[in-house]
């Protein structure tokens, strides 16, 4: 067995110091576990030899996360480029779609400024804008600028940023062929698009990134769609306008037509470290082709790392992505410390103490329409999170509008095996339909819920509370969904907090259970539901774990209170029967 070891390192704007020379060492994928698709990464020596990555966020908020690492294997959430509705006010009202939002950003650093260029999709057809955020401090949410709208000449996705030697800025974007245009980063104006490269014969040419090395322009793209035929390919030219020569080693990375555990490998970015070693990141999905075809991959597309050999004047070459790999990982100087410790993949221990804030790695589904619906430690209920119920449940209905809001707060599921638990305080409602619970949430059309529900109107809600376990999966008929499981809450539990549990017990199922918080070891098993209900091709987003409150359509106010939020990682499966255990 392999054990994850928490390393501590520091970040900050300091003069770059000489680093110890690396030697090949072992690392495990994914490096950004859980839903982290479409990665774009850079190395910035001026920021203490730090690596920075961003991934797609779609409708989750805060959006466009920026992660930081000293060693490529342990990552902090440094900031979120989209962290306040005022940056792009339309995000609160533009769409109720589940698969739109912020797509496939590019992160770059130039002359002391960080640039994050992304595609904002707000309509199912012909509703795409390019927006640019910038900052001079990637650790400060408030320093990210409001969105600059950059012209999208062809209504495409996946914009890239590249500075040529003469200072001009080129934006490549998806298409058959990949196209590009010169842009003005002050005004957002784009010039006339020009054709680049059409790839190697597969469809869905997207995710372009440009580099210049050894007097060649290199164009990296994704091909084959984001499913089992996904790949990363590369071409080069002496001129941005071609002709382009395809690498004889294409595809650079892929898993198509294999039975590897990491599938859908593609949509890459390349960068070099302080020692001149090249690295690639890509998205990938765990479980092998069998689980993929059975739609059993609730964590969806994750970020993986692979070493790249790129000789002078030659082509980049990479080994297939695996759960365990070796490469010349950076060695951080001894004695460095990192603060604050918001490590990706670590446990949550949150008790909602007075004066604290919602952890910055937690996510809402869309920017909250009513931020006051999430209040930490109100005077009447210290050490709780007050959830002011939304009228809509977390599925919504045909009349649901984005501004109606959802009272749902989540974190990313980052492990194959885990335990998530929250204490719910009884007495929260007196009208039938009032509900507080926990959820495995991919989006409003795909989620698994364990709620405490007021079943009938009563002056004393503790007398008519039930546990309700149910699943929502819009891709299958209602008759094929597991029937809701309704179980009375034991009378002895009704006067003290009730602990709700979600456990990832294997790659295929979630277990739902409950206990009195005072006797949490005496659990009542409630349901075992298949992960296929929240995993599947083209959902785009991955599993989130969180708490919700709703009146289920009732036109009245209701406040629920939760406390003792815990996420305990247990293990990652990184290959068939190959595990990395947390200790």
d(CA 40, CA 367) in angstroms, rounded, equals: 23
Which 3 state secondary structure label does DSSP give 18? coil
φ/ψ region of 255 (left if φ > 0, alpha if ψ in -120 to 50, else beta) reads alpha
Positions marked catalytic = 38, 206
Ramachandran region, residue 248 (left: φ > 0; alpha: ψ -120 to 50; beta: rest): alpha
The residue behind tokens 């909250």 is: 368
- Strand pairing category for 435-443 and 544-550: antiparallel
Distance separating alpha carbons of residues 296 and 285, to the nearest angstrom: 10
C-alpha closest to that of 514 among 470, 558, 446, 466: 466
d(C-alpha 133, C-alpha 583), whole Å: 39
Torsion, Cα 353 358 360 365, to 10 degrees, reads 150
Q: Tell me the β-bridge partners of 447.
A: 441, 472
Q: Taking Cα atoms as reference points, which of 163, 213, 549, 222 lies closest to residue 386?
A: 549
∠ CA 90-96-100, rounded to 5°:
75
d(CA 390, CA 393): 7
Cα Rg of the chain, angstroms: 24
- What is the C-alpha to C-alpha distance for residues 237 and 341, in angstroms, rounded to an integer? 43
Take residue 462 and report the two structure tokens written for it: 């503790």
Output the six-digit token pair for 378.
């109100």
Q: Are 367 and 92 in contact (CB under 8 A)?
A: yes
Peptide bond into 305 cis (omega under 30): no
Neighbours of 509 (CB within 10 A): 16
At 291, which helix (H) or strand (E)?
helix 288-293
Residues 6+ apart with CB under 8 A from 549: 387, 388, 389, 390, 407, 428, 435, 436, 558, 559, 560
- Euclidean distance between CA atoms 35 and 297, whole angstroms: 10
Of residues 100, 162, 167, the one with CA closest to residue 129: 100
**Residues, the chain:** 583
**Structure token pair of residue 371:** 């931020």
Dihedral angle computed from the Cα positions of residues 192, 125, 102 and 170, in that order, rounded to the nearest 10 degrees: -10
């Amino acid at each position: 067995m392999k054990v994850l070891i928490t390393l501590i390192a520091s970040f900050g704007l300091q003069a770059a110091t000489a680093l110890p020379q690396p030697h090949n060492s072992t690392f495990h994928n994914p490096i950004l576990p859980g839903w982290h698709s479409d990665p774009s990464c850079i190395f910035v020596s001026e920021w203490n030899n730090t690596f920075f990555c961003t991934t797609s966020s779609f409708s989750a908020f805060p959006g466009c996360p920026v992660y930081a690492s000293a060693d490529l294997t342990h990552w902090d959430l440094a900031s979120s480029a989209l962290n306040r509705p005022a940056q792009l006010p339309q995000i609160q009202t533009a769409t109720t779609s589940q698969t739109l939002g912020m797509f496939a950003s590019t992160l770059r650093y130039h002359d002391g400024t960080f640039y994050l260029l992304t595609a904002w999709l707000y309509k199912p057809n012909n509703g795409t804008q390019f927006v640019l955020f910038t900052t001079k401090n990637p650790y400060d949410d408030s320093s990210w600028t409001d969105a600059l709208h950059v012209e999208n000449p062809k209504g495409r996705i996946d914009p890239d940023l590249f500075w040529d030697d003469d200072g001009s800025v080129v934006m490549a974007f998806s298409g058959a062929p990949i196209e590009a245009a010169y842009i003005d980063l002050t005004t957002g104006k784009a010039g006339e698009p020009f054709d680049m490269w059409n790839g190697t014969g597969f469809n869905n040419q997207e995710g372009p990134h440009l580099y210049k090395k050894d007097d060649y322009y290199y164009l990296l793209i994704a091909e084959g769609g984001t499913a089992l035929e996904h790949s990363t390919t590369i071409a080069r030219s002496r001129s941005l306008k071609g002709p382009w020569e395809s690498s004889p080693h294409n595809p650079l990375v892929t898993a198509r037509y294999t039975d590897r555990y990491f599938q859908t490998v593609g949509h890459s970015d390349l960068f070099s470290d302080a020692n001149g070693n090249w690295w690639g990141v890509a998205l990938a999905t765990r479980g092998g082709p069998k689980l993929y075809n059975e739609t059993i991959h609730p964590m969806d597309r994750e970020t993986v790392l692979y070493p790249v050999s790129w000789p002078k004047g030659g082509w980049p070459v990479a080994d297939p992505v695996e759960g365990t790999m070796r490469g010349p990982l950076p060695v951080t100087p001894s004695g460095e410390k990192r603060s604050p410790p918001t490590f990706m993949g670590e446990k949550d221990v949150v008790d909602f103490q007075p004066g604290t804030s919602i952890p910055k790695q937690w996510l809402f589904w869309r920017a909250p329409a009513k931020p006051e619906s999430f209040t930490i430690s109100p005077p009447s209920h210290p050490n709780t999170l007050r959830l002011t119920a939304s009228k809509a449940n977390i599925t919504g209905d045909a009349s649901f509008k984005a501004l109606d809001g959802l009272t749902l707060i989540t974190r990313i599921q980052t492990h194959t095996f885990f335990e998530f638990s929250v204490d719910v305080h009884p007495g929260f409602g007196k009208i039938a339909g009032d509900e507080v619970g926990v959820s495995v949430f991919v989006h409003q059309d795909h989620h698994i819920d364990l709620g405490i529900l007021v079943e009938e109107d009563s002056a004393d809600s503790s007398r008519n509370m039930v546990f309700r376990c149910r699943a929502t999966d819009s891709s299958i008929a209602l008759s094929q969904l597991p029937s809701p499981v309704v179980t009375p809450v034991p009378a002895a539990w009704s006067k003290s907090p009730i602990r709700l549990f979600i456990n990832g017990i294997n790659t295929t199922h979630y277990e739902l259970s409950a206990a009195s918080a005072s006797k949490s070891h005496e659990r009542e098993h409630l349901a075992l539901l298949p992960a296929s209900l929240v995993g599947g091709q083209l959902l785009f987003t991955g599993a989130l774990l969180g708490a919700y409150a709703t009146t289920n359509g009732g036109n009245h106010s209701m406040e629920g209170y939760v406390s003792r939020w815990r996420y305990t990682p247990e293990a990652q499966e990184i290959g068939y029967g190959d595990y990395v255990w947390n200790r």
